[in-house]
Amino acid sequence: MTGLPLGIPAMGLATPIGTGRAAVAAALFAGTRSGLVARDDVIPGRTVRVGAVPGPLPPVAAAHDTRNNRLMGVALAQIADAVEQAAARFGRHRVAVVLGTSTAGIAEGEAAYAARARGGAWPPGFHYRQQETGSLSAFAADALGLTGPAYTVATACSSSAKVFAAARRLIRAGLCDAAVVGGADTLCRMTVGGFASLEAVSAGLCNPFGANRDGINVGEAAAAFLLTRDPAPVMFLGAGEGSDAHHVSAPDPEGRGALEAMRAALADAGLTPADVAYVNLHGTGTALNDSMEGKAVHALFGAAVPCSATKAMTGHTLGAAGACEAAFLWLTLSRADNPDGLLPPHLWDGAADPAIPPLALAAPGARLADPAGPAAMLSNSFAFGGSNVALVLGRGSGWGGMP
């Protein structure tokens, strides 16, 4: 049985390469690494590149005041009108909120502990609840005035991809009529230091799928979407979830779990590999993840389907990566935002790893074969413990979308 296609009539995002649809689309399709900035304040004694959202973020209610929630608020503001229309139509209790994160307010906790170490007291306004994972969805529900089911998914780097499948289950079960989905993660010393302790942070710019790759650039982002049963120009067509539990931090070297997630997503969408026009790779730039993903993608798609790893532009946005990269699919599919059918380019040093099967890595200027026609696209998100998710988005009347 195939899944329930859902319309995605609204999308908002804030990333290191821009905020809002127009700015992000321009940067995404041109290909830029300007969002990966050098910082010497996240790992003691070391300068690293991180994907940082520039500028101050608008304040939020004091009860929810963390950088993570502020960044989420920027994305939510871009879909607020569409959400308000859904709430008026269905009732506020019939719109769910399902978001993903891994950091929540950890940065505020770091600052508070440092202040206490210096002065012996917690700083004014700090509360441990700022660090709770569930705070992200509680903030979003309050900010949007929604009273339906609201919870947060935290499965590390697959968190905000899993929310699409989770929200669809709520809609299918009749617990809501629409859902706000997405996620946010913000830079903090704990996560960057944690990846550094695993020797997984690049010495410079990350180099996905390159022979010279040496790790990730950690990033931050937020993305938000509205899901409804109504057809829309961009549709959520399917999801494949799995947990291969190969190792607590290392993936199955043969990519079996990743392959099964992609196969399940296509089956859920009622599609074949030949129906897919583009794949957004998980593409972290680490030796093990790129190797296993290359094997899995090649096994399913061969070397014909255009692919790219957009983390080379944003850095690895961790719990926000699934939503951020789903937003990139949304922009790529949107005729309004991408009338020329451009694909996000794969930015790297061009030195292929002979141990990875060949992939059709999209060069700058690459385009869809039919820029205006129907298209389906897939995005991968893989996490610690083998939590694997693949999402399929598409456009075209053949999948319930508007022509």
CA dihedral sign, ordered 21, 136, 187, 114 = positive
- Classified by CATH at the fold level, domain 6-399 comes out as Peroxisomal Thiolase; Chain A, domain 1 (3.40.47)
Report which DSSP code applies to 342: B
Can you tell me the distance from the alpha carbon of 58 to that of 3, in angstroms, rounded to the nearest whole number? 38
Environment class of 164 (CB within 10 Å of its CB; exposed 0-12, middle 13-18, buried 19+): buried
pLDDT score for 247: 73
The answer, yes or no, to whether residue 331 has pLDDT greater than 90, is yes
Nearest residue to 346 via CA among 28, 22, 73? 28
- CB atoms near residue 123 (< 10 Å): 14
Torsion of CA 403, 392, 331, 201, to 10 degrees: -170
Across 102-114, average pLDDT: 92
The answer, yes or no, to whether residue 344 has pLDDT greater than 50, is yes
Q: For the chain, which residues make up each domain, given as ranges? A: 6-399
Across 143-154, average pLDDT: 98
The answer, yes or no, to whether residue 22 has pLDDT greater than 70, is yes
State which H helix or E strand residue 308 sits in: strand 306-308
The answer, yes or no, to whether residue 335 has pLDDT greater than 50, is yes
**pLDDT confidence bin for 399, thresholds 50/70/90:** low
pLDDT score for 84: 98
- Pick from 152-156, 372-376, 393-397: least confident: 393-397
Can you tell me the distance from the alpha carbon of 221 to that of 240, in angstroms, rounded to the nearest whole number? 23
Active-site residue 346, yes or no? no
Q: Which of 64, 206, 282, 298 is catalytic?
A: 282
Rounded to the nearest 5 degrees, what angle is found at the Cα of 144, between the Cα atoms of 233 and 54?
80
The set of residues, in sequence order, having a beta carbon less than 8 Å from that of 236 and lying 6+ positions away, is 5, 6, 7, 8, 164, 168, 227, 391, 392, 393
- CB atoms near residue 55 (< 10 Å): 7
Q: Which of 64, 157, 307, 324 is catalytic?
A: 157
The answer, yes or no, to whether residue 336 has pLDDT greater than 60, is yes
Query: In percent, how much of the chain has pLDDT > 70?
Result: 97
Q: Which of 64, 316, 324, 346 is catalytic?
A: 316
pLDDT score for 67: 96
The answer, yes or no, to whether residue 232 has pLDDT greater than 80, is yes
Residue range 32-58, pLDDT digits in tens: 999 999 999 999 999 999 999 998 999
The answer, yes or no, to whether residue 96 has pLDDT greater than 60, is yes
Residue range 288-301, pLDDT digits in tens: 999 999 999 999 99
pLDDT score for 351: 98
**pLDDT confidence bin for 139, thresholds 50/70/90:** very high
Across 110-115, average pLDDT: 92
Active-site residue 246, yes or no? no
pLDDT score for 401: 46
pLDDT score for 403: 43
pLDDT score for 397: 66
Nearest residue to 236 via CA among 89, 390, 372? 390
**pLDDT confidence bin for 254, thresholds 50/70/90:** confident
Residue range 374-387, pLDDT digits in tens: 999 999 999 978 78
- Whether the CB-CB separation of 195 and 203 falls below 8 Å is answered with no
Active-site residue 93, yes or no? no
Across 98-127, average pLDDT: 92
For all residues of the chain together, what is the average pLDDT? 94
Query: In percent, how much of the chain has pLDDT > 90?
Result: 89
CA dihedral sign, ordered 246, 1, 151, 61 = positive
pLDDT score for 253: 79
pLDDT score for 249: 66
pLDDT score for 398: 65
**pLDDT confidence bin for 125, thresholds 50/70/90:** confident
88 φ, ψ (degrees, to nearest 5)? -65, -35
